[in-house]
Amino acid sequence: MKLVNKWIDKDGAGYVTLRPEDDEDMWHIYNLVQEGDDVRASAVRRVQSTSATGSVESHRMKMMLTLEVTKVTFSPATSAPTTSASSTAAAAASSGSAAEPTASLHLSGRVSAENKYVKMGSFHTLDLEANRDVRIAKQEWDSISLNRVEEACVEGRGAEVGLSFVARVARLGTAAICLLSEHLTTVRQRIEVPVPRKRIGSATLHEKGMARFLSTVYSALLRHIPYNTLKVIVLASPGFTKDTLYDYIFAEATRTANKQLLSAKNKFVRIHVSNPHVHSLVEVLKSPEITTQLKETKFAREGIMLDRFFKMLERDELRAWYGPNHVSLATDRGAVGTLLISDNLFRASDPKQRKRFVEMVEAVREKGGEVLIFSSMHESGEQLNQLSGIAAILTFPLDVEIVEEEERIAKEEAEKENAERMLPNDA
């Protein structure tokens, strides 16, 4: 993401102009734009004009439109359809490479700035695209939004981990090729190739099926995994399929003299997982082999802390709280050491709700606590959303029932004092 322009006054009102460059930038903009914001971007709209002869002509015109946003829709990049060995081979043999799927972001609302061709107040939808500027104007830019802009515009961001979940399941060889960045997990391709069981008299059929499966996965890795720029490339599977694939990859790289792939050999890590599905991502990120290499990355830290929270919940539940009301109580007591919060909560349509969570984050940081904002596009974020989207690891134990009772008593006393103040004074 490029920061093109920025102006924010002392009261927090103002605008930023951004130029998204990839899917993750689209995700950042989705999290920045809220209902009521004014967004300006290019749009294509059909315009009617009357010629000198009186005939009405209609044509499409590109223009800049400003909308007061009423609805924001984000569609993540969808993976290619499940691919068989033959379709992958055909794709690899084709002269042109297929375009990668990309995320889409649609903003709907009323036109809020004068335009020569579009009436004020009319409804329109902006389809945001990569490498096209978008200006976002808010009445108040809070700390969460400003931090996201700053984070999104850091140079050198991008996918950091490539993953291949592979397995032999019954008569099928299955694989999912994924890219993992700080905020998104993108499934680039799913693969299914028939692999007959290994039986007496049918070993040849099994070997041919396995060879087709490995070749298909290898071709998909070459197409979708930028191994030159990634920090780690993970081959994950139950059993020994990952080891078989690893050996095949570097045998093929040697045979074809693929020097770039051979030079990236030290990036490949083999991880055992309980099942070959993408939701095993959390299991991968918790493995010692990965945490040592990615301990400084945002998503690895989130996975580690979420795992620590669940363990704390099992052995010392007085130090593991979750839910907005309970975490708010712990924050007020200054007991939160680590706050785990989903970005879903900052997309609340009610501004009061969003402000509540922003204030919680700021309060924890002011008291020296750590705040981890989870992306709901990662498996760890989805798990946190199942716990209401917010949880906390406390620095000291607190009993929920005792704290709630103390709060209730304090509230009753405050209401009683207010009532007494309202009574007329006796002569």
- State pTM to two decimals: 0.78
Strand pairing report for 14-19 and 134-138: antiparallel
Strands 161-169 and 232-237: parallel
Domains of the chain from N-terminus onward: 2-74+102-152 (2.30.30.870), 161-294 (3.30.420.60), 298-405 (3.30.1330.30)
Give the per-residue pLDDT at 405.
Answer: 83
User: Which amino acid does the sequence have at 300?
Assistant: A
SS3 253: helix
Q: In degrees rounded to 5, what are phi and psi of residue 292?
A: -70, -30
Q: Are 286 and 308 in contact (CB under 8 A)?
A: no
What's the pLDDT score for residue 94?
41
Specify the pLDDT at position 257. Answer: 95
Residue 5 contacts by C-beta under 8 Å, 6 or more apart in sequence? 15, 16, 17, 135
Q: Distances in Å between the alpha carbon of 339 and those of 121, 265, 295, 319, 321? A: 42, 37, 18, 12, 10
Per DSSP, what are the bridge partners of residue 56?
50
Residue keyed to tokens 């304090």: 410
Tokens of 128: 């945001």
Do 333 and 363 touch, CB atoms closer than 8 A?
Answer: no
- Which contiguous run of DSSP H or E holds residue 306? helix 298-315
Per run of 10 residues, the mean pLDDT along the chain (length 427 residues) is: 93 94 90 94 79 72 91 76 52 44 86 86 90 95 94 75 63 81 84 80 77 92 88 87 92 94 92 77 77 74 89 93 94 95 91 93 95 90 93 93 81 78 64
Helix/strand/coil percentages in the chain, nearest 5: 40, 30, 30
Looking at residue 91, its pLDDT comes to 46
pLDDT the model gives residue 165: 62
Distance, CA of 129 to CA of 152 (rounded, Å): 16
pLDDT (0 to 100) of residue 20: 92
In angstroms, rounded to a whole number, what is the distance separating the alpha carbons of residues 38 and 71? 12
Read off the tokens for 342: 């989903």
pLDDT at 361: 96
Helix axes 85-93, 203-224, angle to 10 degrees: 40
Residue among 64, 162, 42, 192 at smallest CA distance from 116: 64
**Per-residue model confidence (pLDDT) at position 250:** 95
- Spatial CA neighbour of 267 closest among 323, 225, 324: 225
Identify which of 347, 10, 280 has the alpha carbon closest to the alpha carbon of residue 145: 347
Answer yes or no: are the C-beta atoms of 10 and 124 closer than 8 Å: no
